[in-house]
Amino acid sequence: MKLGIDIGAGGAPAPAVEDRGVRLGIDIGGTKTAAVVLGRDGELSDQVRMPTGFGAEEVVATVLHTVERMTELAGLPVDGFTTIGIGIPGAVDSERGHVRHAVNLGLGGLDLGPVLERRLGVRVRIENDVKAAALGAHHLLSERGAAGDSMAYLNLGTGLAAGVLLDGKLLRGGHGIAGEIGHIPVDPAGAQCPCGQIGCLETVASGKGLARMWPSTDALPARELFRLAADGRPDAVEVRERFLTGVASAVRILVLTADVDSVVIGGGLAALGEPLKSGVRRVLSEWAANSPFLGSIDLPDRVQVIPSGFPAAAVGAALVGGASWPK
């Protein structure tokens, strides 16, 4: 099956030929696009990764090529998927399927949902990637019997942002920016954030923040930092503690503003695994020891780190695809 890449093609979406309960989720990242098939039982089956193109036509082409590959792996026609959902960085109008300000993808504005529906002939739902990942993380916790009524997904990637679920529903806010806690200033004397403010949380608790605080030629600078800090190197210990304090601050903000049952850390830096989780819990425990109030709300026990390799955003995108459509 050849889907083509003409983003101006016409044609109205057609209904799926049969509800097989098979969902397709696609996570469009700045460099890589990941896709998963989610079965009726909630289990993952086929998965694929491919490079992400830059600019509107290339992003659309990436999605079309991904869908083509997934139909081959799943042995289904494109309308054989019950739903198709996509997670993408940037400000997303999920009702209109419009993406704006996805700078790392070269998108100033794109009606991605309608464009894909015209090309594929099926419904396509679009959501912000971090919000989609929050759904994916909640799905994983539910499968393990560990999901509460509320959860925050703290994405530690190039930047820092969160997706919040209350009563199982995504919190978007009045203008779609709920969870953008990376742009809360925490240090008036800190570094300038790309957003224009000074001392934002993102400047100390993100990939970019670590790159600034710990310049390195190592292929995995965060792992190098934690390794050298564990060996007792003073400058590494200082930077590690600044980073862990920033992440712990993000956890505290999420719990104090939304009182979520758990904060699940994900994103590229979540690959640090146990040293990250234990370090953040240690900082939170130190704060609790000096604050009866913080000590009463069990902050350390609310922190989890998503298992390495779990495609949270793609799984969440598959779940987004099944959300009800506005009339």
What does the pLDDT read at residue 45? 77
Find the mean pLDDT for residues 75-88: 93
How is 173-224 classified by DSSP, letter by letter? -SSS-TT-GGGSB--TTSPBPTTS-BSBGGGTSSHHHHHHHS---SSSHHHH
What does the pLDDT read at residue 242? 97
Do residues 147 and 141 make contact, with C-beta atoms less than 8 angstroms apart?
yes
- Tell me 266's DSSP state: E
Q: Is 120 exposed, middle or buried (0-12, 13-18, 19+ CB in 10 A)?
A: buried
Judged against a pLDDT cut of 70, whether residue 19 lies above it is answered with no
Q: Is 112 exposed, middle or buried (0-12, 13-18, 19+ CB in 10 A)?
A: buried
pLDDT tens digits, one per residue of 196-228: 999 999 999 999 999 999 999 999 999 999 999
pLDDT tens digits, one per residue of 121-168: 998 999 999 999 999 999 888 887 776 789 999 999 989 999 999 988
Average pLDDT, the chain: 88
What does the pLDDT read at residue 323? 57
- Residue 3: which pLDDT band, with cuts at 50, 70 and 90? very low
Find the mean pLDDT for residues 68-87: 93
What does the pLDDT read at residue 150? 92
- Supply 48's token pair: 């694929």
| Residue of 55 and 103 predicted with greater confidence | 55
What does the pLDDT read at residue 44? 77
Q: Which residues are 25's β-sheet partners?
A: 36, 85
Contacts of 278 (CB under 8 A, 6+ apart): none
pLDDT tens digits, one per residue of 87-117: 999 888 888 999 987 877 888 889 999 999 9
**Residue with structure tokens 């696009």?**
33
